[in-house]
Structure 1
Amino acid sequence: MKYLKLVPTFLLAFLFLFGGLNFFFEFVPTPPMSENQALFFNLMVPTGFMKVVKILEIIGAVLLLFPSKRALSLLILSPIAINILLLELLVLGGLGAGPLLIILIGIIAYQEFDKFKALL
């Protein structure tokens, strides 16, 4: 039971680490993009914006693995997850991993609630 509560943490860390590293090393090829997708990514990638986001995803994923740094990790990853969800809804026109990321972050934030009490 003690290890069961770590499942959301490891799953979230894996998803963000995989997404961040895949941007740089592309072990899974990018599927064909719609017109809206291509327009969005053609604005974001050449400016270096996506590199910054992907580096933050990797840092956040690694920090999740350290119990004392989980709250900091959530502060880094939460805005990214919200933007992924908004991208899926507004640009892609459908849902992907965004809702799962938000749910996992919510579970971990609940588990780490004591660290966030001062913010309330």
Structure 2
Amino acid sequence: MKILKFIACLLFGLMFINSGLNKLFQYLPTPELSEELTKVTEAFGTIKWLMPLVAIIEIVGGVLFIIPKTRALGAIVIFPIMVGVILQHIYFAPETIHIALILLLINLWIIIDNRKKYLPMLEN
């Protein structure tokens, strides 16, 4: 189980690192987007600091997620991005939501697995 968790976390982290680096350096070809999604992407592009911020969060969160000692923090850092990914798929690409759901399940698995580390934040 420990090896499975490490492999899942490694792949999860690398996917987010790659996604963040691609937002910054745009080295992967952009897939064909629907007209509606193109408008949304262009709207986000008008906020000049938004995509670099998301990219940095993805990179930092991905690195934290890979390292066992910082994995609990990485899971929390990535979670808001993961919510956005799920919503994006629900509204604009439901045919590929299975990939996003797998990533969400890995993220939730690590959050639940580390729940004791989060309890001090909830205490008075």
Bin of the TM-score, shorter chain as denominator length: 0.7 to 0.9
The structural deviation recorded for 1:113 is 2.7
Q: Partner of 2:96: helix, strand, or coil?
A: coil
Runs (5+) with no aligned partner, structure 2: none
Normalization by structure 1: what TM-score? 0.86
> For 1:94, what is the secondary structure of its paired residue?
helix
Please report the RMSD computed on the Cα atoms of aligned residues, expressed in angstroms: 1.9
- In structure 2, how many angstroms separate the alpha carbons of the residues matched to 1:98 and 1:45? 22
CA distance in 1, matches of 2:40, 2:93: 10
Residue-by-residue CA offset, 1:66-114 (whole Å, 9 max, x unaligned) = 3232121111100100111101111334334321210110121233232
Q: Tell me what 2:26 maps to.
A: 26
Counterpart in the other structure of 2:58: 57
Aligned-pair CA distance for 1:22: 1.4
The sequence identity of aligned pairs, in percent, is: 28
More helix by share: 2
Unaligned runs of 5+ in 1: none
Distance 1:104 1:79 in 2: 14
The match for 2:47 is 47
Distance 1:114 1:6 in 2: 19
Is this contact kept in 2: 1:71–1:112, CA < 8 A?
Answer: yes
